[in-house]
Amino acid sequence: MSDIKIQSIAIIGKQNNPLYIKNFSVFHPDLKYHYIAHTSCDVIDERVGAAGPEAADTYLGLLYAMEDLDVYGYVTNTRVKFVVVLSVTNPVKNTVMKNLFKKIHNVYINQVCNPFYNLDGKKSIVSKRFVAAIDAIGITPSDDDVSP
Amino acid sequence: MDPLLFTAPARIRVLLVPVHPIKAPTFHRHVQLVKNFNVVRLGDVTPDMRGVQSMFSSQLFHEGQLHFNFVTSYEPEHAYLEEFQMHRRIFGVIGIMDCCEWSNLKEGYNKFSEIIKNYRTAVAHRCFAFDPSEDQPDDTKGLIMIPNVGEMNFYMSTMISDFANNILTEFGNLAADIEKRPIIYSPKMPTPNSLQLQNGTNLQSSNGRYAAPLQSYSAPDLKSSQTPPAFPLTPPVQAMTTAGVGGATAGVAPKDTYHSRSFSSSTLVNIATQAANVPTDMKLRKRAPGRTQKLIADLYLMAGRLPNAVSNYMFAIEATKANGDYLWHGSALEGLCVGLLFAAYLHTDLESSVIQSPISPTTTDPPSSPELPKALWADITDKYVNVLTLYAKTSSSSNDQVPPLIYTEACLKVAKLLACIWVAGGWGDDALKLIVHGGTPEKGLNEKWGLSSVSGVSKIEVTQWAMKGYGSYVEDMSITEQIHITTTLSTIFSIINFRRKHTFFLRQTALLILPLIAKPRNSPQANKPPTGSESGLLTCLKKITETYGIGDDADKTDYSVIVEDARILAFGWPDIQIDVLKDALMISEALPDYPSMVKYTTRLLRKLFMYLHRDEQVRLSASIPRIVSAGKKQGLDMEFKYWGLNIVKGIQVCRPTSRRIPYPHAGKKLSLKNEEKKEGVSPFIYQSFNKKKADNAQTHLVANETSYFLVTLANPFAFDMDIQSISVSTDGVAFTPNTTSITISANTSVTLRIHGIPTEPGELIVRGCKIKVHGCLEQEFCVYLPPSDEEIKRKEKEEEYNKRIKKCGLAVLGHSNHTIINQKDHVQPIEQENSQSPTKKTFIPEFLKVSVIAEQPLIKIKSTSLMHGAIMLFEGEQTEMTIKLENVGKIPVDFLSLSFNDSTIANAHALLNSSDMPAEEAYEMELYAHRQSVFSWNQKDNVKILPGSEWIVNINVFGKRGCVNGTIQIDYGYLNRPNTSEDEPFYIRQVHYPVLLTIHQNLETISMDILNFKPLSGGENDGVVNISSDNNNGFECQRNKLIEDLLKVMKWNNKGKKEDFMEKMENDYCLLTFDIRNVWHVGFDVTIEADEGEEIDPLAITTTIQPTSTARIILPIKRISLSEKEYAQPIPSLLEKQFVVSKGPKGTIEQERLALALFWYREKLLQKIKATWESPLTNQKGIVDIRSLRLNKSMLNVLKINEISFGIDIEDGSKVTKLSCNQFKCPVNEFVKMKFVIYNNQEKPSKLCIRIQPVQSYSDGIMEWDLSKRMVWNGLLQTPLPKIEPKSSVTYTLPICFFSRGDFKFLYHCEDVYTRTMYFDTQPLVVEVVDN
C-alpha cells in the first residue's frame, strides 16, 4: 500500500474558498496544486450535484487525471471538499483512498471542534495542530492502512 | 475550421490561397463567400465524363453530401499523418484573385500556377478571379472569372460542383494508387532534428517515450499519381502568402515555417527508401490490404459515399483485427464512427448497406437506424473506448506506435461530441448539427434545467474523456499542437460550463502562446493597434481574470468610492489570483500592451495588496510610472484614474476659534428680551419641549472668512503615497479652495487641515476632496457613511442569500453569461442590472452640509483697566472696571450685550444640589449665589462701533466672598443690516474676558442679640420709684447711668437727645446689638443705618473700627409685627426649581412654625438695617455683610409684637405706684381696680376668654395658691371677653382688695375661644402690697 505517493492535500470550503493547501511534492510549485484544487471544484460540484442530496457516499473517487497526476475528491456533509492529488504509479484501491480521506476528515473535524475556529470564515486554516496532522498524513500515508 | 471537429475525417480539405497582390479584407470577404459553398450535394456534382474508372463519382444518382473544409492555413507539421488520415491532406487549392489589382489576368494566373506548385498533395486547383471589370477579357485559360453581378450564387455553386467533380475523379486515381501499393506504413512522428536522422540510422528519437524509428512517409506512389514531379526544393516566397496577408488569418499557429515541412520529392524518396529497410517487411505486406481498405474507406467517407465507406471500414476492421494491426484497427473504427454519425445526420438508412456487407462481425451491432438514435452516441463512445484500448496497445509495438496527437485527438473528439450532445440537450438533430458543422453551441438549454441526465451525457463523462486527452505526453508535443489541445479543452469545458477548467486551459493556452508573440522591445511597429492575435490574447486574459474573480468587473466598481478597506474579494483564491494577475502582467508586458499592464498592475495592487509582500507592493507601485512613461513614449493616452482604495476616511469642518464662532439667534426682538432677563431656570427638571440645541454639532462658516476643514487620509498600501494636490471639493455657494500637497507614508493615516474661503452666504455642500495622486488623474473622493449595524446585518444576510441563489461567486458569471448569450440584443440592460446589485449601492456618500452666513463683524478686547486681568477687592467692596473694545472686522457692530459668570455660582449650585440643607439655609445660599453678582453692567443704547474704531464698556465689580474668578462675556453682532427683516435670524459672536478675583475679608459681624427695653422704661411717671428695699434714688440713679452708658456706646449723642431715645423706648422699640470685628490691618469707618419707615428719619450710627478690634453696635429697632399669614408662609426659593419633598429631619409642628417665624422676622429685620464701610485712606467703600447674623427664639420673642398683647394697670388714686412695667406697689386693705387691657394686634377680630390666677410667692420660691384669706375680688377670674375688633382693645377691670402684705403674683392669659390658642404676656404682673 505504501506505493501511493501523495502530492498534495487540499481542503476547500463550502464556498469553494481555499482553506488549506499543502504541497508534498518537491518537483512542482505550490501553485500547480492550487490550480488543480481550484479546477477540481468544477468536477466536485458536478459530482455532488449529479448525485443529488441524498447521496450518502462522501467519497467521490477519482475526479480526473491530469498529466501524470490523479485527483481524488471527497466531500463532507457540510460541503467541505478534500482533494488529494496522487502521482500515478499503480492503480489505487478505493478503500485505501477512503481511509485516507477519513483520516483527513477526522483531522478536519478536530479543527472544527476548536471553539475558536470560525467555521464560516474565509480565512485559511493556520492551526499548528491541523497542519501537523495533515503533514503526518501526507508524508506517511501508509502507516495504518494495513490495520483497518 | 476546428481541426478537432468530430466529422473532420469526412471533409475534403481545400486550401484557399490569395494571389497577390490582394488586400486582406478583400481576401477575407472572398474566403467567406467561398466558404458558404462548403456543402455540395452529391446529386449536384457534375457527372463524370470519363465514366469507367471512377470509383467515387458516377452518373448514378447518389444521396449524400460532400463537405469541403475550406482552410486558409494548415499544419504542415502534421504532414506525416496525411497518409494515415487522408482528410489531413490538402486535396484542392483555390486561388483567390482580385481583378482590380491585376491589369493582365494572364500574369495573375501564371502566378497562381507558381503557387500551386507548393501544394503537391493537391489534386485539383482552381483560380477564382473576383470582381472583373468590363474591359478585362475573360480569355485566360484556367482562370475562372466570378462576376459580381447576376446569379452569383448559382454561378459559384456550379463552379464548386465542378471543382468537386474534379476532386472526386482524382480520388479515383488516388484509390487506384493506394490499392496498388504493397506496403503501407504507419505514421511516424518527425523528430525535430529529422534531417540529421535521415542521414543516420535508426536513432532513438529524443522524446524517449515514443521512441520510434525513422519517418516512413509512404508517399512515393502517391506522388507519382500526382501532377508532374520535380518541384523546386524550396518553395518560392509567394508560397507563404496564405498567411502573409498581414498575418491576419485567424488562428494562432506560427505561419512562417510550415512550408519547410511540406513534401519535397527528394525527401520523400529518401524516406521511402529508408522505409524499405524496415525489417518487418513481410508483416507489413500482410497488413497492407486492411490498411488499404481503411484508406479507401477514408476516401469514400470524404466523397460522401457513406454506404461504401462503412462497408469498407468494416472490411478494414476485420482485416486489421485479424492482423493485430491495432493502430489501423483503431483508426478504421474512428472512421466508421464518423461514417455512422454522418449517416445519422443525413438520415440515411445505412442498415441495408451494412447488412449487405458480407461480414459484419462487429460485436456491437451498428444501430444506426433512426429509430434508435440514442444508442448511436453510446455506441460511438463504446467504440472509442475500444479505439483507445487499441491505441494503447500500440505503445508496446515499436513500429506502429500511435502518434500522441492521434490519441489525444481521439479523446478530445469524443469529449467534444459528448459535450455537443450535452449542450444540445440530448441526442437529436440539434446535436448532430452541432457535431457535423461545429460552431459555437448555443449554451444553456441543458443548463437551464440542470438535467444533465436528460441528455444521457454527464459532464463528468465529458471531463473524463477530455482529461484523458491531456496526459503527460502532451508536454512533449510541439507548442502549436499543445496550443491546439489546450484551446480545444478550454472550448469543451466552456461548453459544459466548467468555468474553472475552461479558464485553466485558457490560461495554459495564453502561457503557451506567450513565447511565440514575445517580440523585441522598442520594435518600431509597437505603435500599431494590436493585431488580431494580440487582441485575442488580451480577450483571453480578460476571460481568465474574470473567472478567477478579478476580471474587469473589479475595475467597474470604482474602488475609490468603496468604503471598506481590505474588503475581501467576492470570491476567488488569493494565491491563484495573484498568480493569474502576474501571468496577465507578464503576457501584456510581452506584447507589450501598456494599458493592460497598468490595468493588471493596479488591479493586483488594489485587490490583493493585503496578500502581497511589502517589497512586492513597492516594486509594483514603482513600475507604474515606468509603464506610463513607456506608454506615453508610444503616444498612447496613459492618463488613468486613481486605482487604489479610497484614501479619504473623513472630512469635517474645523470649528473656528471661540471668538469667531457665530451663534445663531432666532430674531431680533426675541433675543433682545432674552438678554435682559437672566437665564431663567425652569421649574421642571426635564423639559421635553425646550430641547437645547446641540450647537456644537452645527458649525457655521462665515462668508469671506477663511474656513478650515479636517481631512483624514489613510494609505492602506505598503508604499508611500504621493498626493500632488488636495483640496476641498464643494457644491452650493461659491468657494475658493486652497490646495496643498502631502505624502502619506505607508500604512498610516494622517489628518490634514486644508482651508478655503466661502465667498457668499448660503449653503455649502462639502462633497469630499479633490485629490491628484501622483501619476493619476485628479479625482474627487467622497466620504461614505459607515454602514450602520443594521445595514451591515442586512448586507450579510443578503450576501448569504446571494450565495444560496448563486448570485455571487463564479456562479453569477455563468448565469449572466448564459443570459447574455440567450439574448444577445439585451446585453446592455443586463450589465446595468448587474451594476445595480444592492451590495454595491449601499454606500451613500456623506455630503457635509454647512451653512455659510453673511459677513460678521469681529471685535477684540484692546485693553482693560485691570492689571494682568486680576482684581483685588475687600468683601462687599464696590468698584468699577473698564474694557476697551476694538472692531477689527470689516463691518460695524451695532449690538453689544454683556453677561457674566463667576466661580461662586457653580459652587453654590453644587452645594445646593448635593446637600440636604434646611430651607432657610438654602435660601441663604441661593441669595448668595444669585442676588449678589460679582459683575454688573449698565446697558447703553445705540452702540455703534465702526470698523477700526474703539468702544469702552464700564463694568461694576462687587467683592463677593469666596469668589476667585469670573468671566465677562461680550456678545456682539451687526443687527440692523440693510435689507433684512426683523424676524430674520441673526448671528452674534462672543468675546470672553476672564477676570481673576481676590476677595479679602475685612469686617465680620458676630454675636447678635436683641434686648427688651421694657424693664428700663416706665419710671417716668413718678420720678422716684422704690424697688424692694433699695433706695429709690439709688435705683433711679443707677438706671439713669445705665441709659447714659448705653447712649454713649450707641453714640446716640450725635443723633439726638436722651429724651428722643427714651421716647423710642416707650414706643415699642427694642435694642439690636451685634459686634463688628475688623480682621484687616486698616481701620474702616462703618455706618449702620436703621430705616424704620416713611415717617421716621432713618437712624444711622457711624463708628470707626480700628484694625483687629471689635466694635459693638447697639441700635434701637422698632419691634416688628407680622401677621400669622405673613410669618407662616413657607420659605421661598429664589431658584424656580421643582418642589422636592424635604428629606431632612422633620420637626414638630411647633418647631416648624418657629423656624418659619424666625426666618420671616429675620428677613424683616435685615430689611431695616443697612451697613456700609468706607476706608478713608484708600477711598474704597463697600457694604458690610450682616446676613451672617442669626436670630434665635428668645430674640424673636423680644422682637416681635404678639397678636394679642396685654397692658396692666392698677388704678386707685395715688396710693398705687407703678414700679416698672407690670410691677406695682399697692396699699393693703384697700380696694384697687386692676385693669387688664387686651390689645388685638391682628387684622381680624378675635373672641377671647381671659383667665387670671393670683398666687403669693415667697422669697424662697414657694407659691401659695389658696389666697381666699388674703385677698378678695369682685368679679370672675375666668370669663369670656367681648369681641375685640382688629387693632383695638378691651379692658377687663377686676376690683381687688389685698388683706395681707407681701408680693402677689398674677398669672394670666387669654385663650381664643375658637382656635384654643393661648396668649401670654411677656412677664407676670407683680404686686407688692405694702402698708399704707
Percent of chain B with pLDDT over 90: 0
The span from the CA of B387 to the CA of B712, in Å, is 70
Confidence band of A43 (pLDDT split at 50, 70, 90): confident
- Domains for chain A: give ranges and CATH numbers: 4-141 (3.30.450.70)
| Residue-wise DSSP of B757-787 | EE-SSEEEEEEEEEEEETTS-EEEEEEEPPP
Residue of A16, A39, A41 to mutate when probing chain B, most B C-beta within 10 A: A39
Q: What is the pLDDT of residue B476?
A: 74
Contact flag A42-B499 (C-beta cutoff 8 Å):
yes
Task: Tell me if A35 and B504 make a contact (CB, 8 A cut-off).
Answer: yes
Look at A38 and B504 and tell me if their CB atoms are within 8 Å.
Answer: yes
Res B277: pLDDT: 45
pLDDT digits (tens, 9 = 90+) for B871-916: 888 888 888 888 888 888 888 888 888 888 878 777 777 777 766 6
Comparing alpha-carbon positions, the chain B residue that sits nearest to A21 is B575
Q: Residue type at A75?
A: V
pLDDT of residue A6 exceeding 60: yes
In this predicted structure, what is the pLDDT of residue B828? 35
Exposure string for B973-1011, b = 16+ CB within 10 A, e = fewer:
bbbeeeeeeeeeebbbbbbebebebebeebbebeebbbb
Polymer length of chain B:
1332
Residues B1199-1219 pLDDT 10s: 777 777 787 877 766 677 777
**Angle B741-B742-B743 from CA coordinates, rounded to 5°:** 145
In tens, the pLDDT along B1138-1197 reads 555 555 566 677 788 788 888 888 888 888 888 888 888 888 888 888 887 788 887 887
Does residue B147 carry a pLDDT above 50?
Answer: yes
How far is B1305 from B1307, CA to CA, in rounded Å?
6
| B599-608 pLDDT, tens digit each | 788 777 777 7
Question: Which among B470, B803, B810 is the nearest to A66, CB-wise?
Answer: B470
B1174-1208 per-residue burial string, b: 16 or more CB within 10 A, e: under 16? bbeeeebbbbbbbeebebeeebbebbbebbbbbeb
Say which residue, B189 or B219, is predicted with more confidence. B189
pLDDT of residue B1089: 81
Q: Tell whether the model's pLDDT for residue B232 goes beyond 50.
A: no
pLDDT exceeds cutoff 60 at B680: no
Q: What pLDDT is stored for residue B1065 in this prediction?
A: 61
Task: Decide if A122 and B470 are in contact by the 8 Å CB cutoff.
Answer: no
Q: How many whole angstroms separate alpha carbon A132 and alpha carbon B690? A: 68
- pLDDT score recorded for residue B446: 44
Rounded CA separation B606/B1040 (Å)? 110
A65 reaches B (C-beta below 8 A): yes
- Look at B467 and A38 and tell me if their CB atoms are within 8 Å: no
Q: Which of A39, A49, A68 sits opposite B504 (nearest CB)?
A: A39
Which residues, other chains included, contact A128 with Cβ-Cβ below 8 Å and sequence gap of 6+? none
Q: Which residues of B touch A39 (CB under 8 A)?
A: 498, 500-501, 504
B727: left (phi over 0), alpha (psi -120 to 50) or beta: beta
Name the range with the highest mean pLDDT among B320-329, B470-479, B609-618, B1243-1252. Answer: B1243-1252
Using one digit for the tens of pLDDT, what is the confidence trace for B14-49?
A: 888 777 777 777 888 878 877 777 777 776 666 555
Q: Is the pLDDT of residue B72 over 70?
A: yes
Structure confidence at residue A147 as a pLDDT band (50, 70, 90): very low
Q: Which of A113, A102, A148, A134 is nearest to A19 (CA)?
A: A134
Cell of B1145: 429631619
CB B510 within 8 A of CB B583: yes
pLDDT-derived band at B1055, boundaries 50, 70, 90: low
pLDDT of residue B404: 76
Of residues A41, A49, A65, nearest to B467 (C-beta)? A65
Per-residue pLDDT at A110: 87
Q: What's the pLDDT score for residue B1136? A: 59
Higher pLDDT, B880 or B659: B880
- The pLDDT-based confidence of A50 (bands split at 50, 70, 90) is low
pLDDT at B806: 54
Q: String of b and e for B431-460 (b: at least 16 CB within 10 Å)?
A: bbebbbebeebebbbbbeeeebeebbbbbb
- At residue B804, the pLDDT reads 59
Amino acid at A31: L
Output the pLDDT for position B969.
Answer: 85
Alpha carbon distance, N-terminus to C-terminus of chain A: 13
E strand or H helix at B1077, and its extent? Answer: strand B1069-1078
Is A43 close to B474, i.e. CB distance below 8 A?
no
Between chain A and chain B, the number of residue pairs with CB atoms below 8 A apart is 68
Q: Do B472 and A68 touch (CB under 8 A)?
A: yes
Q: Which of A17, A47, A68 sits opposite B460 (nearest CB)?
A: A47
User: Mean pLDDT, to the nearest integer, of B640-654?
Assistant: 75
Among the ranges given (B673-677, B740-744, B1027-1031), the one the predictor scored with the smallest mean pLDDT = B1027-1031
Tell me how long chain A is: 148
pLDDT given for residue B58 in this prediction: 54
Using CB atoms, pick whichever of B453, B464, B573 lies closest to residue A38.
B573
Write a three-state SS string for A90-109.
CCCCHHHHHHHHHHHHHHHH
Contacts of B468 in chain A (CB under 8 A): 65
Cα(B232)–Cα(B230) distance, integer angstroms: 6
pLDDT above 70 coverage of chain B, percent? 67
Q: Would you call B471 and A38 a contact, using CB atoms and an 8 Å cutoff?
A: no
CB contact (8 A) between residue A50 and residue B504: no
Q: Which residue has the higher pLDDT, B32 or B820?
A: B32
Determine, for residues A42 and B500 on separate chains, whether the beta-carbon distance falls below 8 Å. yes
Contacts of A11 in chain B (CB under 8 A): none
Q: How far apart are CA B387 and CA B1054, in angstroms?
A: 148
Report which of residues B1067 and B1207 the model is more confident about: B1207
| Core vs surface per residue B52-75: b (16+ CB within 10 A) or e | eebbbbbeeebebbbbbbbbbbbb
Backbone torsion region of residue B1302, taken as left when φ is above 0, otherwise alpha when ψ lies between -120 and 50, otherwise beta: left
Query: pLDDT-based confidence at B269, cuts 50/70/90?
Result: very low
For the segment B624-643, the average pLDDT, to the nearest whole number, is 75
- Contacts A38 to B, Cβ<8 Å: 500, 504, 573, 576
Which pLDDT belongs to residue A1? Answer: 45
Identify the pLDDT of residue B194: 38
Cβ distance of A67 and B453 shorter than 8 Å: no
**Chain A residues touching residue B464 (CB < 8 angstroms):** 64
B639: pLDDT strictly greater than 50: yes
Contact B291, B185 (CB under 8 A): no
Using only C-alpha atoms, what is the Rg of chain A?
Answer: 14
Question: Who has greater pLDDT, B398 or B993?
Answer: B993
Answer yes or no: do A64 and B498 touch at CB < 8 A: no
Chain A residues touching B460 at Cβ < 8 A: 43, 46-47, 50
Q: Do B460 and A35 touch (CB under 8 A)?
A: no
Q: Does A49 touch chain B (CB under 8 A)?
A: yes
User: Which tens digit of pLDDT belongs to each residue from B363-405?
Assistant: 333 334 444 444 677 777 777 887 777 777 776 666 666 777 7
The whole-chain average pLDDT of chain B stands at 70
Residue B526: DSSP 8-state: G
Residues in chain A closer than 8 A to B453 (CB atoms): 50
- Mean pLDDT of all residues in B405-434: 76
User: Which one is predicted more confidently, B1038 or B909?
Assistant: B909
Backbone angles phi, psi at B567, to 5 degrees: -70, 130
Q: What is the DSSP secondary-structure string of B9-29?
A: GGEEEEEEEEESS--HHHHHH
- Three cell numbers at B724? 500632488
Q: With beta carbons under 8 A apart, name residues in chain A contacting B501.
A: 39, 42-43
Predicted local distance difference test score (pLDDT) of residue B674: 46
pLDDT of residue B1275 exceeding 80: yes
Lowest average pLDDT, out of B296-300, B374-378, B380-384, B725-729, goes to: B374-378
Instruction: Note whether A66 contacts B: Cβ–Cβ < 8 A.
Output: yes
Name residues whose C-beta falls within 8 Å of residue B1154's C-beta, 6 or more positions apart in sequence: B1193, B1196
Residue A123 forms contact with B (CB below 8 Å)? no
Query: What phi, psi does B1206 have (nearest 5°)?
Result: -115, 150
Average pLDDT over residues B1232-1239: 84
Q: Quick one: pLDDT at residue B56?
A: 64
**B421-437 mean pLDDT:** 72
> Using the beta-carbon criterion (under 8 Å), do A15 and B453 form an inter-chain contact?
no
Residue B931's CB is within 10 A of a number of other CB atoms, namely 8
CB B1319 within 8 A of CB B1217: no
Single-letter amino acid, residue B1279: T
Nearest by CB to A18, from B474, B504, B573: name it.
B573
Query: Is A42's CB within 8 Å of B493's CB?
Result: yes
Angle between helices B574-590 and B499-517 (to 10 degrees): 30
